[in-house]
Amino acid sequence: MSDHSLSKLHQRLEKETGIHTDFQKNMTYSEYLQLDKILSSQQRLSNHHDEMLFIIIHQVSELWMKLMLHELQAAIVAIEKDDMQPAFKMLSRVTRLQSQIIQVWDVLSTMTPSEYLEFRESLGKASGFQSYQYRLLEFALGYKTRHILKIYEKDERIHQLLEEAYQKPGIYDVSIKALHRAGFAINPDLLTRDFSKPYDRDPSVAKAWKAVYLDVETYWDLYQLAEKLVDIEDWLQQWRFRHMTTVKRIIGFKKGTGGSSGVNYLKNVLDHSFFPELWELRTQL
């Protein structure tokens, strides 16, 4: 910006006479956001420059996941009430959030293997594999494995939070119930099943979704719901893929700090589908 442009900008700002400057008795922006807590939580365990990048990338991801959970959990409640329009808004927001969380891998990938090695040992056995919010997201989407809960026994509050989420229906469970309420002949066992068990594809659900896609005008809300779910899984798979490639780029095929097989584990989870009938019907239509 030229000196002349800066001068004009300063002149315009000086004319803004309504700007508040006295905050002795008023809440500030920093206080509202509790920035003192947020910006003081990046405590490096090494002296290496790039550990700051590593910490912030993961903290930002956890914040995005917190908002995703906020929207997903509210959408589940809305779908249970057949309040579809607010649910669609929430699910659309989730996919926008997913686009943000995918981009963090682009930033993390600027760190080289040599740079990561300088502080990797400082992490001990701590790993993103242990993210309890990511587990809550998986649970909300219907992917549940009991053995994973043992990781969180150290913190009773987190373990209880996960245990409760583990027992609750996921978003696909409530979507299947919505199909039932719309008059489709859904296998009754699905409506009263143990929601702590992973969902397995069912012919009655496949038949119902196919009918929805063949008569979009009649079942417009269910059709929109199905596409919102596909959007979420699509973006989640893209996040998983970028995660895998970033890990491969930085540590190759080494084991993760949390003990997982690293890249091989991340490759395996790419094969899992949260909403199998919605993907299979693409071939059937």
Q: What angle do CA 200, 204, 206 make, to 5 degrees?
A: 70
Average pLDDT of adjacent 10-residue blocks, the chain of 285 residues? 73 76 91 97 96 97 98 98 98 97 96 96 93 96 92 96 97 98 98 93 98 98 98 96 94 90 89 94 95
Is 116 known as a binding-site position? yes
Ordered DSSP codes for 93-154: HHHHHHHHHHHHHHHHTTS-HHHHHTTGGGGTT--GGG-HHHHHHHHHHT---GGGGGGGTT
Is 243 known as a binding-site position? yes
Residue 53, H or E segment: helix 51-80
Which amino acid is it at 148?
Answer: I
Is 79 known as a binding-site position? no
CA distances to 9, 73, 82, 201, 269 from 87, rounded to whole Å, are 44, 10, 9, 24, 27
Which pTM does this prediction carry? 0.92
pLDDT reported for residue 13 = 65
Is 29 known as a binding-site position? no
pLDDT reported for residue 1 = 60
Contact 243, 103 (CB under 8 A): no
With the CA atoms of 125, 156, 172 and 203 taken in that order, what torsion angle do they form, in degrees rounded to the nearest 10?
A: 80
Is 246 known as a binding-site position? no
Is 54 known as a binding-site position? yes
Is 38 known as a binding-site position? no
